[in-house]
Amino acid sequence: MAPNLVGELGGTGTRRRVADRESVFFDSKFAPAPRFSKYIIPPMSTSTRSLAALTLGCVFAAAIFGFGSAVFSFQMSADGDGARTQLILITRLAAYLALALMLVFKGGWRGVFAAITMTVATTTIEWLLFPTAYEFALAQSPAMMDEGVESIARPSYGLWAMEDIIGVGLCAALAQGLRMMAGVNPNATPDE
């Protein structure tokens, strides 16, 4: 006899749940038991460890993207295409903002701090790799070799990173503030 999925009226007039839900949907003894949750999407873990792991992943992704954008912006500026150079740098900032918003939505105000930490770490890595990015661009672009500049001086870190740190920090704090004002809870059910 198959269990009733809708449920039956019990002696007290309330609905009874089917006791054997796992066996109805999964016949295999090796299949994981389903988790019946009131959420459509399982709630995110808001632990500090998971936020720190996500921050490290964002630093890695942003550093790779920033290094590539530095190489391409050097190549475009050597070709005399200033508009594409600006577009590459704006895209770099947009990638930082997207990663920062992901951290904010994950961790709230701790996510704002994680976003600022991510930006500081990423701009530090980019600043350290600044001459290496120029050498990569020099090796790939014949127009840069014609200029005869073998190396480039690294700018001061304050001039290099301050706009990125302030911009990402303000946008992250603004996003968290607006999220609090709107009363958005990503872990809430639609009925709440």
pLDDT in tens, 23-74: 444 445 555 555 555 544 455 666 788 899 999 999 999 999 999 999 888 8
Give the confidence band of 15 by pLDDT, cuts at 50, 70, 90. very low
Asked whether residue 190 is domain-assigned, the answer is no
pTM for the model stands at 0.69
Domain count of the chain? 1
Predicted pLDDT at 189: 63
Asked whether residue 191 is domain-assigned, the answer is no
Asked whether residue 129 is domain-assigned, the answer is yes
Q: Hey, is 21 helix, strand or coil?
A: helix
CA distance 184 to 167: 23
- Mean pLDDT confidence for 134-148: 74
Predicted pLDDT at 182: 80
Report the number of secondary-structure helices (H) and strands (E) in the chain.
Answer: 7, 0
CA atoms within 13 A on the CB side of 29: 0
Range with the lowest mean pLDDT among 32-41, 70-79, 114-123, 181-190? 32-41
% residues pLDDT > 70 (the chain): 66
Asked whether residue 9 is domain-assigned, the answer is no
Predicted pLDDT at 75: 83
- Across the chain, mean pLDDT equals 77
Burial of 119 by CB count in 10 Å (0-12 exposed, 13-18 middle, 19+ buried)? Answer: buried
Asked whether residue 189 is domain-assigned, the answer is no
- Angle 169-176-172 (CA atoms, 0-180°, nearest 5)? 20
**φ, ψ for residue 187 (rounded to 5)?**
-95, 0
Give the confidence band of 13 by pLDDT, cuts at 50, 70, 90. very low
- Angle 27-28-32 (CA atoms, 0-180°, nearest 5)? 105
Tell me, what DSSP letter sits at residue 40? S
pLDDT surpassing 70 at residue 105 = yes
Asked whether residue 123 is domain-assigned, the answer is yes
Give the confidence band of 104 by pLDDT, cuts at 50, 70, 90. very high
- Angle 157-95-136 (CA atoms, 0-180°, nearest 5)? 60
Asked whether residue 28 is domain-assigned, the answer is no
Asked whether residue 137 is domain-assigned, the answer is yes
Cβ count within 10 A of residue 28: 6
Predicted pLDDT at 191: 61
Domain residues for the domain of 97 are 48-182
